[in-house]
Amino acid sequence: MVILIDIGNTNVHIGIAENRKIVENRMFSADVKRTKDEWYLMLKGFSVDTFPEAVVISSVVPYLTNTFVSLFKGITGKEPIIIHTGMQTGMEIHAKDISYLPPDRFSNVIGAFYEYRKEIAVIDFGTATKVDIVDSKGIYLGGIVAPGIYTSYKALIENSSLLPNTSISPPKDFIAKDSQDSLKAGILLNTIGFLEATKAIIRKEIKKEFLFVATGGASHLVYYLGKSIDTIDRDLTLKGMLYLYDINRR
C-alpha cells in the first residue's frame, strides 16, 4: 500500500494505491486550522494499513506539509517522501528553470506522460487554473497559470456589492434570466474562453494538436460542456505522484 497526499491551497486529495493502482480516494478542504489529531480521525475512514510501503506527499502549503509529515511519522515511524522537481522522471524537461514548477504541476506532467503517451495539455482546475504541456516523447514544453474558477468568483463577489453569493454550477441558460445564472454563465464562459484561447496559442506556437485532459477540484464544472475538454482524470496528480515514487525507488 502507498498513501498519496496532494495538498493544495483549496483541497487536500488523499488516495490509497494497491498494486500500483489507486483504489480509494477522497477530497477534503485544506483547512490549516485542523489539528494533527483531527486529520488522523478523518483518515480513519480509509482502509489504511498502519505499515504502508510509503507515504508520498505533494504540497504547496508548507504548514500542512509539516502537519502531515508529523502525523505519518508518528503512525508509521518512517519519513514521508516529498515530491520535488529534483526527482528522476525519465523525461526531458524543456524549461529554463524546472524548479519553478510546484509539486502538483510537476506530478501532473509526469502523470500525463505515463498515463497517455500522447501530446497532452493538462488543465488543472484548482485555486489557480494551470495548463502544462507535454508531448508524446515525454518532453515538457511549458505552461500557463490563470486565476481559478472559484478564485475569480470569490474576487468578483468581494468587490461587487450587489452580486448574489451563489454556488458555481451550470446555469439553466447561458443567456441568463436572473443575476445568479448570469454570474454562473459569466464565470464558466470566461473559463471556456481561456481554454479556447489556450488551444489557439498552442496551435500557433507549437503547431500540433493536443489532447486536453482536465483534473483538479473544479474540473467537473467545465467538462460537462463537452467541447473544451477532451477527457477528465480527477486522479491525475495522484497518479503522477505514484509514478514518481516508483521511478525514484528503483
Q: Tell which residue, 203, 194, 104, 98, has the closest CA to residue 140.
A: 98
Short-list 221, 220, 151, 217, CA closest to 185: 221
Identify whether 178 is a catalytic site residue: no
**H/E element, 193:** helix 179-205
CA distance 231 to 215: 9
Q: Residue 17: its pLDDT value, please?
A: 94
Cell numbers describing residue 113: 506522460
Q: What is the pLDDT of residue 233?
A: 95
Task: Note the pLDDT of residue 170.
Answer: 81
- pLDDT tens, position by position, for the chain (250 residues)? 999 999 999 999 999 999 889 999 999 999 999 999 999 988 887 876 667 899 999 999 999 999 999 999 998 888 999 999 999 988 876 655 677 789 999 999 999 999 999 999 999 999 999 999 999 988 889 999 999 998 998 998 888 888 878 788 888 888 988 888 898 888 888 998 999 999 999 999 999 999 999 999 888 887 666 678 999 999 999 999 999 999 998 7
Instruction: Give CA–CA dist 187/97, Å, rounded.
Output: 32
Q: Of the listed 6, 37, 104, 135, which one is catalytic?
A: 104
Listed in sequence order, the residues at least 6 apart from 154 whose beta carbon sits closer than 8 Å to its beta carbon are: none
> Could you give the domains of the chain?
2-82 (3.30.420.40), 92-234 (3.30.420.40)
Identity at 190, one-letter amino acid code: N
Amino acid identity of residue 202, one-letter, is: I
> At 32, is the secondary structure helix, strand, or coil?
coil
Extract the C-alpha cell encoding 223.
467538462
pLDDT at 50: 61
**43: which residues sit within 8 A by CB, 6+ positions away?**
14
